[in-house]
Structures are given as C-alpha cells and as structure tokens.
Structure 1
Amino acid sequence: MIKIKSQVFSFITTFRIENIFKNLLIFLPLLLSERLVAYQDVIMLVLGFFIFSTMTSICYVTNDFTDQKKDLLNKLKSKKKILKKNTIIFLNIFLIILLILLNQFTSLFNSYLFIYLICFNLYNFLIKKFFLIDIIFLTSFYIIRMLYGSELIDLDISYWFLLFFISFFLIFSTFKRMIQISVNKLKTKKNRIINYSLSDYSWLKKLVIFSAIINFFTASLYLYELSSPSTFNFLSAPETRYEQSIVFLLIFFLSYVAILSRIISLVFKQKIKQDIYIFALNDKFNYVLIISYLLFVYFHIN
C-alpha cells in the first residue's frame, strides 16, 4: 500500500499546466454550439475532463520515460522528473483497468478514449520516427479531445468545425517541429532528437502557409454561409448555426487572422524559442486583441 501511494504521489508531481489547457478542448464543441448549456452536460464534460487529463498525463510521463535520452539533447525540454520503469508500468496497467471500468459501469467512456490511447502508443513507439506522419498524429490528438467531448454530450459537430480545427492544429503541430529545428540548430537528420533538419524548414513553411490558407478560407466560407444560408448547408450541423450578428463574427475573424498571422511571422523569423502553446498562452498581444473584441461587443450591446 505504501509503495502504491508513493507511485501515485510521484505521478501527481509530474502534472503539467499545458496538459490541463490542452484538455480544455473537451469543452470547445459545447462552447461553440448554439445549444443551451445544461447542468447535466457540464457535469459530464467536467468528469470527462478529469478522466482525459489522467489518461494524457500517464501518456506524457510514458513519453518522457521513453524519450529521456533524446530530451537531454533537446534545448526546448525543461528538466523533468522521470518516473521509474516500475511506476510507468503500474500507471499504464491502472489506466487500462480504469478504461475497462468506465466502459462497464459509466457513460463516460466512448471510443475516442480508446482511439487516443492507441494513437499515442503508435506515435510514441513508432510514428514519431516518420517524417510528416508524426505531424498528422500530433494534430489528431487535439481533434480526438474535441470529438470525445462532443460524444459525451451527444452533440453533432459540423464539417466546418472539423475543417477549421484540423487545419489550425496542423499549423501548430508543424510549428512544434519548426521551433525544435531552429532552437536546436538541427543541421542534419542524424541529430538524435527528431527526424527533421534545417533542410526541411522551407518545406515546413509551405505546409504552414497551405494550412493557413485552408483555415482562413474555411472560416470565410462559413461566414458567407451564415449570410447566405443553404449555399454550403451540407457542411453545417443544426447546433452550430449561429444567430449572432455577422458584424461581431467578422470582427472576431479579423482579430483571429491578426493573431495567427503574427505568430506565423514570428515562427518563420525564428523569434519563438519555447513551446508554441506556452508562447501563445503567455503572449500579451493575443489578450489585448481578445479583450478589445469583448469590450466592443459589450459596449455595442449596451
């Protein structure tokens, strides 16, 4: 019993704030829908959030254990507490038992938990060694979080939603590799950190630009669909057809374009020297634009 308590305590000390923020994506489908926020939906999503956070935290410490030698060479990786092999095994067995119990006795289990776990293990032990495919898997982890949340509360999400966020997270997953290349000055693919080098940088830039075009184009078409219903109705879902003023949505879209374009420019100029999500969370420019938009909406309504 004492040994188990020690393993659990060691695990808790490895929790990361960025993991918590990423798992907030579970709430996004509800927040972006027109459905009235019901108490039961909130309870389900909160419980789902804790379950998903537990699972992803176990995945992260497993990844830290398998990558510990590489991480010593990676300047972006802060010194983390690496759990012992026995603790990693114990946590993964616990996770499998937890998922089985959730499936048998609760409605908090759905296939996306299982899909995430399978994708993680494929990525951790195989896929991260393959050029580009690793970026696709990184993107899928964020989409799975949102799909898990929507499935929990039986909320249909639109193709608009999927196209927008797939292209968005494809951009940020590519940023992750670009920043690793620039910060670590990876001149060749024999660098023992990732299967990328400075020779891939221009190609990754093109991937970001292509994804950004898809992202902005999807958002633009969605705004057009709101002003001219039925044009692209097959891409919509009943609970994601907004009734807000098109002016508010257009200003929000322009603010979003400004934020993302600025981050793209900073990455291309190799000005960002930390994890892209940590940078985005700490960037004051983003908060200035968001607060300005909220103030505009508030004063316009009142």
Structure 2
Amino acid sequence: MDVCVETSAIIAVDLDGTLTPTDTLYESAVCLLRNNPANLLALPFWLLQGKAVLKSKIADRACLDVTTLPYNRHLIEWLQQQRAAGRKIVLTSATDRRLAQAVADHVGLFDVVLASDGTTNNKGVHKRAALDARYGAEGYDYAGNSAADIAVWAGARQAIVVNASATLARRAARIAPVAKIFPPQAITLTHWRRVFRLHQWLKNLLLFVPLLAAHQAGNVGALATLVLAFFAFSLCASAVYVANDILDLESDRKHPRKRLRPFASAAVPIKLGALLGPSLAAASMMLGTMVGSAFTRWLLFYFVLTCAYSLWLKRIALVDCLTLAALYTLRIVAGAAAVAISLSFWLLAFSIFIFLSLAFVKRYAELRVQASAGSGWAHGRGYAVSDVQFLQMLGVAASYAAVLVLALYLHGDTVATLYVQPELIWFAVPLMLFWVSWVWMKAHRGEMHDDPIVFAAKDRASLAVAALIALCFVLADHGIGG
C-alpha cells in the first residue's frame, strides 16, 4: 500500500519486530542463559530498577552477534532506495544503545541512532519525545510494528507499518497517513510442525522395543500403556527441541540449512517458544504420571539429561555423542519400565553401540557441511572440521561393534528358547552389516541428512533392510512352515 502524500526527509525506523523480525531483548536474554544460567536469577532485581536498567545490565553481560540476526530484507531494500533519493535514515529503538549501534554499524544504512541509555526506555511516548525534540512534530516518517508505536505514529507525518496485523494497520491509518505497508509473515502449520519436530517422534517408537523383544506384542494392555508413554516422551522431546532451538539460535543461523528453522529465521517468535516449552514439559509429566512412577522417573531423567545436553554437554567433544547414544537408549529403558519388563544386557549393549554410531554420523555430516561452507570449526560444538576423519573412524568402529554384539547374542542359549527357528535370525547379521556400511558410505559421499534417523525413515535401502530384518525375526518366531 502506497499513499501519494508529501514525504519527510527523515525516516525513523524501529528495530525489534521491524528492521529485524525478532526481539533483541529476548535474543540477549538467551545469550545470557547460554553463557551463564545463574545470571537469570538477577533478572527480577534488574527489572525492579526499570526496563532501561534491565536492558543495560543484559547488554553488559550478553554478547549478541548482530551479524547473525535475521533482517527484514524487503524493508532494507526500500530504505536503501529512500536513502539513495536523499532521505536521512534514523534507527530509533527501545533496545540498549550499544546493541542498537552495533546493528546500525552492521546494516550500514543509518545516519543517527536513538535508543535506550540505561536511564530512559526509548519506547512509546519516550521515543516520540526524542524524535520530536530532534526533528519537530510531524518532521519525520516512522516505521514500526507494534501497539507501542501508536504513540510514535501520532507524532509522525506518515506511518510505515511493518510486520503488523491488519487491525494495527487500521489503527495506524486513523492516526497518520499510511505511506507503506510491509505485511507480516504468517505462522503456518509447516512452521508449527517444525517447531514440534513431529518427524522426530519416530525415535520414540523405541519405547515399544522391550515389548517386542519379550514376545508380548499381543498384550493389549501393555500396548495401550506404551501408547500413552509414547505421547509423554514425544511431548517431552518437543519441549526440549523448543528449548534447544532457542539456545542454538546463533549456531543455527550460521548453518546453511538450520538457519531456516522457525526460531532461527524468526518465523516463530522466541517469546512463544518460551511459553510453549514449559507447557509441553508439564503436559508430558502429567501423561507420565498416568503411565506409572517407574516410567516417570526415567522420563524425568531423560528431561534433565536433555536439558544438560542443550546447555552444556553438546559443547564437549565426544561427550556429546555419548550423551546422544544414552538418550536413545533411555527410550528403551523407559519403555521397559512402563510395562515392567526386564531388559537384557545384549539389547542394552547393542543399542549403545548402534546409537553411538548414529551420533557420530550426525556430527560427521554436520562437519562436512561446515567444511563445504569454508568454516574451520563447528559453531557451538567442540569439534574442528579437521576432526571429520577421526569421527568417521570412531563411528564405523561403533557400528561394527553393534553388529558383533548382535551376532554374539544370536549365538547364545536365550535365542534358542525364544524362537522356533532361531537360525533364520542369522540373516539379520549381514543385513545389519550392509546397512551400517551403507549409512557411512552415504555420509562419506555427503548425502547424509543432519539427522540419520530422518535419513533412514526416507531412504529406500534403509526401509528395505528394516523390512527384511523384521521378516527374519517373524519367520524365526513362527517358523517357515508355521
């Protein structure tokens, strides 16, 4: 929408939600949490001293990399055209002046920066007063996005509405002529699917493994319990994915593919994630208590370990992969606890080795991407790109160790008592050898997804191997002539 009215030589532009679709205060708070979670205890005391003080204190301690922030490309292109036409561009923001200045230096468009200074929160009427004092009433056009900007538009010659709802745009039009509208990006079902990581819920099917291994697949009561456990684990996992994506904003934005994630791209606001994460965790624990106390303890342990991984462990080389393997195995342990089934040493040993291999595949694939992007280090991780061959060696060794454990298990006496024709299961060994070799070959070729589980769920060869292995166990259980 464009209105042909007299324009001011000055365009004042808001930062949060306008120049960038994200909120730099929330972004800085995330940095604070990531660097030292203990700092969060001081936030209420800083807030009691006023928002300007809060923003100043956070800016003192948080090192937000403004070069990684998402920016409103369409607005910036339009501002470049206006500046080329001789108009003066002013960045006016409620964020702390140091952060606003860093953004202005990075974007390279602004002649003046007006922002909060540790005493005055440059928002709403305070922002209007600062602009009026410098350029006079109606001496500027103003680009904003929120209800707080109504007070500023009331003093502007023209309103430029950015990333705002239709209702707010109509309110702005009643106050000042609207010169231009930059429509908001809608949050779609695809965005929410990616926030919840619904495809990752496939991993929670591991909860059913103990029931299948115990030959109790026909136990309807146990199956119903595990279905409830599945959703409890899935909601818990989604809660952690939300937290992890928020904590990983800076790293994800430096990744060629992860930068498109909903929180990294600011398609979904951080504040929604801050509300969604705890809500999902609470719902998960409520479902867990319905399954049983033993399951709930493992679910809680899984939650604590994933939080530790997100905050700290994922930055420690090798420990991160061991933790990922443990998190996969915990699903099997929790599934056994849910239906009171004892786990065998062989199942636990096999799961640790196979999931450790997949964790190494994940890191190997990520390092390959970083190498192709010309980076020397994996941001937010404890690995150098030069570690890629070492991880490949460890991963291949772990995968073959898993197959060895499977072969030793099949040689034991337990198998003979559980299956009618146990010799048929031996076909699973070469099938597993093929699959782990296939996964590593695809990773070596650079054809591996960031998550090997997602790769396996979409890869035809992997699906065929899974079907054949399942057939081996079914035939061994019933016999070829059964």
TM-score, length-scaled by structure 2: 0.53
Q: For residues 107-152 of structure 1, what are the alpha-carbon distances to aligned partners after superposition, in whole Å with 9 as ceiling and x for unaligned? A: 2652111111111111111111111111111111111111111100
Larger Rg: 2
- Which region of structure 1 is more displaced relative to structure 2, 261-270 or 47-56? 261-270
| Residue equivalent to 1:215 | 402
- Which region of structure 1 is more displaced relative to structure 2, 79-88 or 149-158? 79-88
The one-letter code of the counterpart of 2:245 is D
Query: Where do residues 103-118 of structure 1 align in structure 2 (5 Å cutoff)?
Result: 107=292, 109-118=295-304
Q: 1:181 and 1:276 mapped to 2: Cα distance? A: 14
SS at match of 2:214: coil
| Residue equivalent to 1:176 | 362
Aligned partner of 2:224 among 39, 43, 60:
43
| Residue equivalent to 1:60 | 241
Q: For residues 33-59 of structure 1, what are the alpha-carbon distances to aligned partners after superposition, in whole Å with 9 as ceiling and x for unaligned? A: 223531110111001111111111111
Q: Would you say the 8 A contact 2:207–2:331 is kept in 1? A: yes
**CA 1:86–1:289: 2 relative to 1, 3 Å:** closer
User: Between Structure 1 and Structure 2, how many residues are aligned?
Assistant: 284
Aligned partner of 1:254 among 405, 430, 433:
430
Q: 1:48 and 1:228 mapped to 2: Cα distance? A: 28
Aligned partner of 1:90 among 275, 278, 286:
275
Tell me which of the two structures has the higher relative contact order, counting C-alpha pairs closer than 8 angstroms and 6 or more residues apart: 1
**CA 1:94–1:15: 2 relative to 1, 3 Å:** closer
Q: 1:222 and 1:196 mapped to 2: Cα distance? A: 35
CA shift, 1:26, in A, is 1.0
**CA 1:78–1:41: 2 relative to 1, 3 Å:** farther
Matching of residue 285 in structure 1 with residue 461 in structure 2: yes
Q: 1:227 and 1:56 mapped to 2: Cα distance? A: 34
Q: 1:227 and 1:57 mapped to 2: Cα distance? A: 37
Q: Would you say the 8 A contact 1:189–1:195 is kept in 2? A: no
TM-score, length-scaled by structure 1: 0.82
Q: 1:224 and 1:72 mapped to 2: Cα distance? A: 49
Greater helix proportion: 1
Q: For residues 95-117 of structure 1, what are the alpha-carbon distances to aligned partners after superposition, in whole Å with 9 as ceiling and x for unaligned? A: 55446655766626521111111
| Residue equivalent to 2:209 | 28
| Residue equivalent to 1:237 | none
CA shift, 1:12, in A, is 6.4
Greater strand proportion: 2
Q: 2:198 and 2:436 mapped to 1: Cα distance? A: 22
Q: 2:347 and 2:415 mapped to 1: Cα distance? A: 18
Q: Would you say the 8 A contact 1:73–1:193 is kept in 2? A: no
The one-letter code of the counterpart of 1:251 is F
Query: Where do residues 188-203 of structure 1 align in structure 2 (5 Å cutoff)?
Result: 190-203=377-390
Q: 2:278 and 2:196 mapped to 1: Cα distance? A: 19
| Residue equivalent to 1:164 | 350
- Which region of structure 1 is more displaced relative to structure 2, 270-279 or 177-186? 270-279
Query: Where do residues 72-87 of structure 1 align in structure 2 (5 Å cutoff)?
Result: 72-77=253-258, 79-82=260-263, 83-87=268-272
Structure 2 gap ranges (5+) = 1-186
Identity in percent: 22
- CA root-mean-square deviation: 3.0
Q: 2:207 and 2:415 mapped to 1: Cα distance? A: 30
The one-letter code of the counterpart of 1:173 is A
Q: For residues 72-106 of structure 1, what are the alpha-carbon distances to aligned partners after superposition, in whole Å with 9 as ceiling and x for unaligned? A: 22124262222434333333443554466557666
| Residue equivalent to 1:15 | 196
Q: 1:288 and 1:103 mapped to 2: Cα distance? A: 34
The one-letter code of the counterpart of 1:89 is A
CA shift, 1:273, in A, is 5.0
